[in-house]
Structure formats: structure tokens, C-alpha cells
Copies of this chain bind each other. A is one copy, B any other.
Amino acid sequence: MSETSTDAALRERAARVIPGGMYGHLNAAIFGEGYPQFFVRGEGCRQWDADGREYVDLMCSWGPIILGHRHPAVEAAAAAQQAAGDCLNGPGPIMVELAELLVDMIPSADWAMFSKNGTDATTQALMVARAATGRTKVLVAHGAYHGADPWCTPSLAGTTPSERADLIEYTYNDLASAEAAAASADGDVAAIIATPFKHDSFEDQELADPAFARGLRALCDRIGAALVIDDVRAGWRIDLRGTWEPLGVRPDLTAWSKAMANGYAIAAVTGVDALRGPAQMLYSTGSFWFSATAMAAAKATLETLREIDGPALMERAGTRLREGLAAQAAAHGFQINQTGPVQIPWLSFAGDSTLEMATHWSVACLAEGVYLHPWHNWFLSAAHTDADIDRALQGTDAAFAKLRARFG
């Protein structure tokens, strides 16, 4: 950023009225110098920062944008609902329609409850599991991100030991570790929660070993615990039926959010029939959880994804990106790892444990009009055409060349 940029001026103002100038996952300071902090516009798979620079966007606002910005069907549905009423004394008929749609789309869903944030959904899913079992402990994979409430935020600042006292860690893709964790709880396991693949920050992603997934299912069945899939980050990009459906493993509860309404704020928990009664026992609510506009946007988003086979489009775009990056890295003499599903990809450089190369390359991509992330997985959308991917690859190629000049 130049010191005279609009972004710099906004940062200066922000530093006076926002702690640290920004916080959370969108705090540009935590992912590298050179990243713009403020954005002003989105259209399809392009975004513009406050200084008017255009990017081919490979982050999709960290997941929520799945059909591209300003998708006409979504915007029309949301605007029509907003004009009638959004936050009323009761939910609108759209809430029933959306719940019916989820139950129709998701084989493990017999019911749905809605909220606003991914954290709302993961927290609510654990509450349902605890209400169902009368037990307290939850098995969580070491290093997994399930939200930013005190029980799950990656930083311990501001949290207390009691708030995490009911968690027991296991190792992702290591069934024996989950079995051992369960055994250590002496019958007091309410749930095992897992992301559908390992997408921890700063690390190569790992797909779920199908034997691990089946093993977790069997373990839950054996000990009478609920299997909770946190599909907040991955949901709707891999398989509209749920990310573990292709593995043939069905959860008891699933937490959804992010891409569900193409950027509108909504989250959901879906569950199996046996957990309907326990779900009903909770008092879990929020002032805006029943608001109709985001539900109308969600319905339009999910119907559109089904209609156009969104996951297949994202798979095509992601495959093109992955193959292009592989060829470029080889041509420039870099050893890279590309991990995760192609729709939710990440690229690391071999031996780059400090992420120095990833950071330099990402910032070089930025300068070439390609927005991606040095240590968090990326996201594709159904709006990424072959031409968009090729435009992105043009930028990444130039960035590899710059990287070679420095590290080659």
C-alpha cells in the first residue's frame, strides 16, 4: 500500500476507532504486507479494493460467495423479500420452504434450525447432542477450526479453562486417537465433531480417509454419541447432499453456513429424526435468526446450485486452476503441494515452513490482480469461467517468475 492510498487513509482512521485497526479473519495485518484492507465492490468472481484495483478473486470472501457477487436470482429473491418484510414478529413462509428444501437436498436432514453465524451452528449442534445424550464431553480434532466462541476460538485470549473443560482432542484421520479419546471420557461423550476434510490454517489440507470417516460413524454408534459434521466451510461446494455423502457416511447433525446464501448472513443445523426431540428442548435463538431476506437468498442460492450443478462447475474451474498451477510451478522449477478438494484448494511450497515463499508469491499475485491467501485455503465459485481461471493463471505465472527472481 502506498502511504497516500485510500486504503492507507482508511487504516489510519480505523486505527483510532477499531481495536488494532481491524480484527478477526479479515484483518489484513495477519496475512501479509501489501494486502489491501478495505474493499468496495464485487461482481461475479471479481472484487475491487478501496483504491479501485480489480482482482480475480480466489477467496470468495472466505467462502460465502459461491455463485459470484450480485447473482441475479439471489439478489432478486432477496430484494423481493426485503421489500415485503425481513425482520418481523414471526418468521415468514420462506422459513418453512427453506427447511423443506434442506430436508429434500440433504439425506441426513430430517429437520433444520437456522441462525446467523457458523459458530452459532456448531455451538447449537453440540447443544442438541448434549440435550440428546445428557452427556458433557465432545471430541474435537486437534487444530480444527469450529468457530470463534470461547469454546472454539483458536486464541485463548479472553477465554477461561472451564469454557474448554468439556473438550477432548483427537487427531484428524487417526481413528485410534478418537477411540482413545472416547475411552478416556468414561462413557461421557455427547458428540464427535469433525470437519469433512482437514482444512486447518498454515498446513496442507488432508482429505478424510474413508476408513476414518466410517470408523467415526461406527464409534459414535457404539458409544451412543452424535456424529457432528462441521460443513460450515466446505458445505455446498463439493456435494450438495453434504460433503461426506460421497463417502457413504452420514452424520447425525451437520452445521452449515458460509456459502448457503451467497453472502447473506445465515447458518443452519440439520439433523436426523432421532434428534428432533432433543433439538426442541433447547432455548437457542437470536434477534435476527428468523429474518426472511437471508432465507430467501439461501433458497435462491441452493436452488440455483442444484439447477446449474454448482459443485461440478467449481470442480471444473478448480481442476483447471490446479493443473495450470502445477504446470507453472514445474516450468519455474518450484516444488509445490496442492491439497484439498479442487473447489477449496490450497498451494504450499515444499520446504517453506516459515511460509516466506507463500507470502511473497501471494503478494506478487495480488500485484498481478489475483487475490488468494498465503496460509488459508482458497475458494472457487460457480462464477469462475475458464476465461477467469486463465486470467488468474496469467497472474500466478508472473508471480512465479518474480518468485524465481528472488528465490530461484
Q: Which residues of A contact B (CB under 8 A)?
A: 6, 10, 13-14, 16-20, 22-26, 28, 36-42, 47-50, 55, 57, 59, 61-65, 69-70, 75, 78-79, 82-93, 95-96, 99-100, 102-103, 110-113, 115-120, 123, 126-131, 136, 147-151, 153-155, 157-163, 165-166, 232, 257-258, 263-265, 271, 276-291, 294, 371
6 smallest A-B Cβ distances: which pairs?
A: A24-B285, A127-B158, A265-B288, A87-B263, A155-B283, A20-B280
Q: Which of B6, B93, B130 contacts A10 (CB 8 A)?
A: B93
Q: Is the CB of A283 within 8 A of B92?
A: no
Query: Which residues of chain B are near A163, meaning CB under 8 Å?
Result: 151, 162-163, 166
Q: Is the CB of B87 within 8 A of A24?
A: no
Please name 28 pairs of A and B residues whose Cβ atoms are closer than 8 Å in the assembled complex, sorted by A. Answer: A10-B96, A17-B100, A17-B102, A20-B280, A23-B113, A23-B280, A23-B284, A26-B89, A26-B285, A28-B90, A39-B90, A47-B85, A61-B89, A61-B287, A64-B87, A64-B287, A64-B288, A75-B82, A115-B117, A118-B286, A128-B158, A131-B158, A148-B285, A153-B284, A158-B282, A162-B165, A263-B291, A265-B294
Q: How far is the CB of A52 from chain B (nearest CB, A)?
A: 12
Q: Is the CB of B282 within 8 A of A157?
A: yes
Q: Is the CB of B287 within 8 A of A19?
A: no
Q: Is the CB of B47 within 8 A of A89?
A: yes
Q: Is the CB of B154 within 8 A of A38?
A: no
Contacts known (A150-B123, A290-B26); A89 close to B116, Cβ less than 8 A: no
Q: How far is the CA of A79 from the CA of B281 in the complex (A)?
A: 38
Q: Is the CB of A24 within 8 A of B290?
A: yes
Contacts known (A148-B286, A163-B166, A288-B64); A88 close to B47, Cβ less than 8 A: yes
Q: How far is the CB of A81 from chain B (nearest CB, A)?
A: 10
Q: Which of B23, B75, B120, B278 contacts A282 (CB 8 A)?
A: B23
Q: Which residue of B lies closest to A275 (CB)?
A: B19
Q: How far is the CA of A55 from the CA of B89 in the complex (A)?
A: 11
Q: How far is the CB of A88 from chain B (nearest CB, A)?
A: 4
Query: Which residues of chain B are near A130, meaning CB under 8 Å?
Result: 158-160
Q: Which of B63, B102, B161, B265 contacts A265 (CB 8 A)?
A: B265
Q: How far is the CA of A24 from the CA of B16 in the complex (A)?
A: 38
Q: How far is the CA of A19 from the CA of B103 in the complex (A)?
A: 12
